Structure 1
Amino acid sequence: MREADIDGMGISIGGRNLTNLRYADDTALIADNVTSMKRILNRVDIAGRKASLKLNAKKTKVRHINDTNNPANDIKEDNSKLEYVQCFKYLGSVKENNGSCSKDVRTRIGIAKQKTIELNNIWKDRGILTTLKMAILKCLVWPVVLYGCEAWTLKQEQNRIHAIEMWLHGRLLRVSWKEKRNNDKCDIGYYGDGCIKSCSDHCAGKNNSCNHINGTCDLGCVPGYQGTLCTQAKLSTVFNTTICFKLQKMGFPTHLISLISNLYTNQSATIRWNGEHSGHFHINKGVRQGCILSPHLFSIYTEQVMREADIDGIGISIGGRNLTNLRYADDTALIADNVTSMKRILNRVDIAGRKASLKLNAKKTKVMYINDTNNTANDIKVDNSKLEYVQCFKYLGSLKENNGSCSKDVRTIIDMAKQKTIESNNIWKDMGIPTTLKMAILKRLVWPVVLYGCEAWTLKQEEQNRIHATEMWLYRRLLRVSWKEKRTNDSILKELGVTRKLLSEIHKRRLRYTDHAIRNTKTDLMKPVLQGKFAGKKGKGRPPTTLIDNIEKSSGLSLHQISQRSRDRNKWRAVVMSAGDPIDEHGDGYK
């Protein structure tokens, strides 16, 4: 647009010349007469072709404001006459040449009605409370009507808006036009316990029985009472019966189960492959792909499966509480204190899972013995398949070793960080990018890879040396310093104007997580795990370095002092900010 040089050809608004309005590739050119519009179109077309952009004559329309007589047939683009229109859609709103909003209002109302009809399964469901239906109406349908309303100039359109509101309420209550009911009677009003004043869903006999059972009078219906009966018959055909049953056993309200079932009614999907779409097909099993509710439904489903497996008391004791499993989505870790207990847990979980149409994958299931490298675990089977014994496995992106060490995880993370740095070589080689910006890119792209899961690391001197060496390797890669130059670490840090901070950042993140674990009141499991309060005897020999040892060394406080300081967030924040590694601050010992 700047190269087109169209300034001064548009219209004047508040002393400022306006020639175009743009949002992404939706552009509106503005002029005060036909001649100016031709010049603007010509210059924009020439400048666009130079930039490999071409105006689409079929999609380009011409509209004369307050001039319906001018057909605008003399305005052309690429020897094609542009179509003259009295209104067009811009950013989802219909714009008329007389400035009216009547067509836009009618269009929004039509879309809102279509959306309401698509939700008929919800309005028809007697198991969903009217209050919840009203909330759904306001969340899903009202935004359709209100889109772009800030720019409306309303006249007679107000009557249309009043009418559509009453139509929506009538649709929600399933009131037919044949009933000839007054709008005042269709207004949704409430008595106690979610009962509504009027409803056409129930006959007089059902109303009387509802009133008698619930001890109420002059009520149209009691949705909570009727909903249970309607939902039981409906969920078996519309919603996955197993999921419905699990939700009911977990104690979820009937109206919420009914609402979820309506989301799964007649759901269909299509497959896109190489730009082509297959035909639509119905989905009869599983949760909706891409739905934000799906992970929660799956978590609820697996939670109920674990409850039905009845494995409480078979696991290990931590802080007086029994722990049998750890779950995140479909990544499940079963825990037991001996082989016999593990067999029982696996057997019960397998049986409960098969009843819920879930099957354990023997190929992906691994067995790891903590502090017992001699046991091969070949006698543990699932579905007549021996489970593989491993000394470490990856859980939630981190490597867990059977001796509690984090050395393999640190090495793996360092390798990933180096690979990420090599992939960004074009940035480090670019002489046009300032070093300060390269440092910012390094901290945003590579440091998060190194720091992933560092809060749970129990670092020994060997791992700390690796982290120091990795940080200096990253800095040398950024400056393109070869090992052949034999430059000292101090010279690299001096050129960048920084000190080593990677290990200090690990200490600070670990202290922040410690504060979160100690002050967390939602679960009583995090603090005992952090303190290492496990049942049983300790092994012979020197006790290994623990996480709490690292925390005490980083903060310079004892465990009791840490518990006291963490109660005051300001004091603990000061502890975190003062934490660091001596080598990071001074650089001693790593020239």
Structure 2
Amino acid sequence: MSATVLSNSGSKSEPFTMKMGVKQGCIHRDCTHSVCHLHLLHVIGQDLRQEILILYRTDGRLFNLNRFKAKSKISTTTIMELQYTDDNVIAAHTAADLQLILNAFVKAYRVLGLALNIKKTQVLHPPNQPSTQPIIKVENITMENVDHFPYLGSLRSMTADVDSENKHRLSCASGAYARLRLRESLKIVQTKLLVYRTVVLPTLLYGAESWTMYSRHLKALEQRHQRFLQKILRISWEDRRTNTSILEEANMNSITTTIMQHQLHYGQAL
């Protein structure tokens, strides 16, 4: 990667090659990525206008879509890219816009001395009706069209629902709990509960702040939560214990309550 030094007067030094970077966990890592991201957008320029418009209101009744018909109290923002460190998601309404934006990013990456990993670049197309898949190319190589795409630990699907993500979370949580059971050192029940609260439960509910779920999703998560707690507390179905009594013994909340708490904290952060 090439770099230059910019002085306070605006003059630039001669470009030089950087062969070393920051290590994972370094306190300068986030700052470096932010500077690189800002410079990337500067290289792309302001010519691209193929953005997705989002309307929002912050005065209550979030799920009443009729309130967006008002001509006032509505705020707008636009989204074109979701860059996070070395991962990037490009959003567009049409295949032509997506191709145009992708070409701009590839060109900007090349200017910064970066390269796009074509093997990891995929296209996710959520159509409103059955249609042909878009053909997106980079350097005359056609990108793969997929039905699901993992991004930052979560699973995005072409149906734009949480069915696939729900199943993915259940599978990941089961794997985390299986590793917990293999730890012979965790013989004390309270220790197992603490590890479960710290490791397994966050795995089960990763990204739940942004989920739009139906009762079937909550039911599946609650059943898996109860099953894990029953195994930790060594409770059999023959004991005829209620879900509430199991939660009280484990000193934990239900999945519905936990998700609501996460969503409230997420809303406060926004």
The two structures have a TM-score, normalised by structure 2, of 0.77
| Aligned position for 1:315 | 51
Q: Report the alpha carbon displacement of residue 321 of structure 1 after superposing the two structures with TM.
A: 2.9
Q: Which amino acid aligns with 2:204?
A: V
- Tell me, in whole angstroms, the C-alpha distance in 1 between the residues paired with 2:265 and 2:178: 31
Deviations 1:5-43 (A, max 9, x none): xxxxxxxxxxxxxxxxxxxxxxxxxxxxxxxxxxxxxxx
Of 236, 242, 262, 1:490 maps to 242
The alignment status of 1:287 with 2:47, answered yes or no, reads no
Of 13, 24, 31, 1:296 maps to 31
Q: Which amino acid aligns with 2:256?
A: L
Q: Which amino acid aligns with 1:442?
A: Y
CA-atom RMSD in angstroms: 3.2
Q: Which aligned pairs between 1:31-180 and structure 2 lie closer than 5 A?
A: none
The question of whether the paired residues in 2 share the 8 Å contact of 1:315 and 1:323 is answered with yes
The question of whether the paired residues in 2 share the 8 Å contact of 1:414 and 1:470 is answered with yes
The question of whether the paired residues in 1 share the 8 Å contact of 2:230 and 2:246 is answered with no
- Tell me, in whole angstroms, the C-alpha distance in 2 between the residues paired with 1:378 and 1:363: 17
- Tell me, in whole angstroms, the C-alpha distance in 1 between the residues paired with 2:128 and 2:256: 31
Query: Does the C-alpha gap of structure 1 residues 382 and 374 become closer, same or farther in structure 2, counting only changes over 3 Å?
Result: farther
Query: Does the C-alpha gap of structure 1 residues 515 and 502 become closer, same or farther in structure 2, counting only changes over 3 Å?
Result: same
| Aligned position for 2:102 | 346
The question of whether the paired residues in 2 share the 8 Å contact of 1:427 and 1:438 is answered with no
Gaps of 5+ in 1: 1-239, 259-264, 266-282, 518-591
| Aligned position for 1:400 | 156
Secondary structure of 1:446's match?
Answer: helix
- Tell me, in whole angstroms, the C-alpha distance in 2 between the residues paired with 1:329 and 1:460: 33
- Tell me, in whole angstroms, the C-alpha distance in 2 between the residues paired with 1:356 and 1:417: 40
Deviations 1:502-539 (A, max 9, x none): 2211111102212332xxxxxxxxxxxxxxxxxxxxxx
Q: Report the alpha carbon displacement of residue 495 of structure 1 after superposing the two structures with TM.
A: 9.2
- Report the more deviating stretch, 457-466 or 349-358: 349-358
Query: Does the C-alpha gap of structure 1 residues 494 and 395 become closer, same or farther in structure 2, counting only changes over 3 Å?
Result: closer
Of 233, 236, 244, 2:4 maps to 244
- Tell me, in whole angstroms, the C-alpha distance in 1 between the residues paired with 2:247 and 2:222: 18
Deviations 1:375-425 (A, max 9, x none): 443521011111111222111111122232112112211211111111122
Q: Report the alpha carbon displacement of residue 358 of structure 1 after superposing the two structures with TM.
A: 1.6
Query: Does the C-alpha gap of structure 1 residues 387 and 298 become closer, same or farther in structure 2, counting only changes over 3 Å?
Result: same
Secondary structure of 2:133's match?
Answer: coil
The question of whether the paired residues in 2 share the 8 Å contact of 1:378 and 1:388 is answered with no
Query: Does the C-alpha gap of structure 1 residues 515 and 296 become closer, same or farther in structure 2, counting only changes over 3 Å?
Result: closer
The question of whether the paired residues in 2 share the 8 Å contact of 1:400 and 1:409 is answered with yes
The question of whether the paired residues in 2 share the 8 Å contact of 1:417 and 1:446 is answered with yes
Q: Report the alpha carbon displacement of residue 493 of structure 1 after superposing the two structures with TM.
A: 3.1
- Tell me, in whole angstroms, the C-alpha distance in 2 between the residues paired with 1:420 and 1:323: 35
Q: Report the alpha carbon displacement of residue 479 of structure 1 after superposing the two structures with TM.
A: 2.6
Q: Report the alpha carbon displacement of residue 355 of structure 1 after superposing the two structures with TM.
A: 2.0
The alignment status of 1:381 with 2:137, answered yes or no, reads yes
Q: Percent identity?
A: 22
Of 199, 208, 225, 1:454 maps to 208
The question of whether the paired residues in 1 share the 8 Å contact of 2:226 and 2:243 is answered with no
- Tell me, in whole angstroms, the C-alpha distance in 2 between the residues paired with 1:489 and 1:254: 73
Q: Report the alpha carbon displacement of residue 429 of structure 1 after superposing the two structures with TM.
A: 9.1
- Tell me, in whole angstroms, the C-alpha distance in 2 between the residues paired with 1:349 and 1:495: 50
The question of whether the paired residues in 2 share the 8 Å contact of 1:334 and 1:345 is answered with yes
Q: Which amino acid aligns with 1:355?
A: V
Query: Does the C-alpha gap of structure 1 residues 492 and 315 become closer, same or farther in structure 2, counting only changes over 3 Å?
Result: closer
Query: Does the C-alpha gap of structure 1 residues 300 and 443 become closer, same or farther in structure 2, counting only changes over 3 Å?
Result: same
The question of whether the paired residues in 2 share the 8 Å contact of 1:305 and 1:353 is answered with yes
The question of whether the paired residues in 2 share the 8 Å contact of 1:438 and 1:478 is answered with yes
Q: Which amino acid aligns with 1:418?
A: S
Which of 1 and 2 has higher RCO (CA within 8 Å, sep 6+)?
2
The two structures have a TM-score, normalised by structure 1, of 0.38
The alignment status of 1:477 with 2:234, answered yes or no, reads no
